[in-house]
Amino acid sequence: MPFVDLAAQFASISGELQETTHTVLSSTDYILGREVEAFEDEFAAYCGAQHGIGVDSGTSALELALRACGIGAGDEVITAANTFIATCLAISYTGATPVLVDVDPETFAIDVSRVAQAITPRTAAIIPVHLYGQPADMDPILELARRHGLRVIEDACQAHGARYKGRRVGSLGDAAAFSFYPAKNLGGYGDGGMVVTDDDRVADVVRMLRNYGQRAKYEHVVAGFNRRLDSLQAGLLRVKLRYLDAWNAARRDHAEMYRRLLADTAVMTPVQAEYAEAVWHLYVVRCGDRARVRTALERAGIATMIHYPIPVHLQRASPEIGCVHGDLPITERLANEILSLPMYAELSPAQVEHVAETLAEVAR
């Protein structure tokens, strides 16, 4: 059984995708344009936000959102230690310094009390990461940010459609970044991303920054970038957006089944916080003796992954983070115990049951 099965998803909607491909290719409108505008409006509305600005990746969405919030050299940006490295790279690209804080071992969400401790006079923003599709606890983060005059940018790259106290992620902070990397809950057929925000000024600046700093054609008011979303991806993502809620509901059913079947076994299942409706981008369990468990699953034909095996602060690429082994003990411990099980909408209940029963058996 594969870890994700993009072929199964493609097969289920290939007719619509082919029709859209033909429409976009014959329109000769390939970069930004009508499809991108329509997708921006639809996705922003889906998130309950005013503006969507399509960009070329989730990493760009994070970077441009930070820049539009005025973050740059000399600033510190606090984020979760157990994230994908792109969160930290985006901070570094702006010239700011990433400051990592440890997480809750049960929900994997950023630990708000540690965020409070990490605030210094240079802190300018917080990036809560809705990791694995589960929202971070936003209210205390927003309250902390308000008290200290900080911006909040949600890293929602794994959480399309997730809800926090009934509200969709993407509408909670000053801005949010989404990725449309193919394997995300809403994924394109190439790279893509979006900044979602209610802030008119942030939206304006991101719109300029992604397109050479243009305000009008050939009038460049800031030194921007080429970070645009293309029309074909937008068209294909519009098709897939119509299925997102159904796909997320299927993921929730699978997660519930995993939880039930793995209760009272040697495997620890992830805890859904009481404020959250998670969309289970990844279903991450914890177990002892992970290497052996993983090999046994592989022998049984079940693919698993580890998200992530080396924490960001211990990567050779991140010396400027200035942390060493032992500085972020929960994240470091999790990195040795976590195991991501197969999770995608097209899994059948029988497959979920097979994974859970095999895992319970081999983890004993």
Ligand X SMILES: *Cc1c(COP(=O)(O)O)cnc(C)c1O
Cβ-based neighbours of 249, under 8 Å, separated by 6 or more:
none
Q: How far apart are CA 199 and CA 213, in angstroms?
A: 18
Q: Which stretch binds ligand X (CB under 6 A): 94-102, 142-150, 153-161, 225-233?
A: 153-161
Q: How far is the CB of 189 from ligand X (least distance, A)?
A: 13
Q: How far is the CB of 179 from ligand X (least distance, A)?
A: 3
- Residue 9 interacts with ligand X (CB under 6 A)? no
Q: Which is nearer to ligand X, 62 or 347 (CB)?
A: 62
Dihedral-angle region of residue 8 (phi above 0 means left; psi in -120 to 50 means alpha; beta otherwise)? alpha
- Residue 157 interacts with ligand X (CB under 6 A)? yes
- Residue 211 interacts with ligand X (CB under 6 A)? no
Q: Which is nearer to ligand X, 123 or 158 (CB)?
A: 158
- Residue 193 interacts with ligand X (CB under 6 A)? yes
Query: Cβ(250)–Cβ(345) under 8 Å?
Result: yes
| Nearest residue to ligand X on Cβ basis | 58
Tell the burial category of 105 from Cβ atoms under 10 Å away from its Cβ (0-12, 13-18, 19+).
Answer: middle
Q: Which is nearer to ligand X, 32 or 293 (CB)?
A: 32
Q: Which is nearer to ligand X, 174 or 191 (CB)?
A: 191
Q: Which is nearer to ligand X, 187 or 224 (CB)?
A: 187
Q: What is the dihedral of CA 117, 122, 124, 127, to 10 degrees?
A: -50
Q: Which is nearer to ligand X, 49 or 153 (CB)?
A: 153
Q: Which is nearer to ligand X, 312 or 363 (CB)?
A: 312
- Residue 186 interacts with ligand X (CB under 6 A)? no
Q: How far is the CB of 341 from ligand X (least distance, A)?
A: 17
Q: How far apart are CA 328 and CA 22, in angstroms?
A: 50
End-to-end CA distance of the chain: 21
Which of 20, 94, 107, 158 contacts ligand X by CB under 6 A?
158
- Residue 278 interacts with ligand X (CB under 6 A)? no
For 298, half-sphere exposure in the C-beta direction (CA atoms, 13 angstrom radius) is 10
- Residue 129 interacts with ligand X (CB under 6 A)? yes
Q: How far is the CB of 354 from ligand X (least distance, A)?
A: 27
Which of 79, 82, 94, 179 contacts ligand X by CB under 6 A?
179
- Residue 46 interacts with ligand X (CB under 6 A)? no
Which residues, numbered 52-111, are part of the site for ligand X (CB under 6 A)?
Answer: 57-59, 83-84, 86-87
Residues in contact with ligand X by CB under 6 A are 57-59, 83-84, 86-87, 129, 155, 157-158, 179, 181, 191, 193
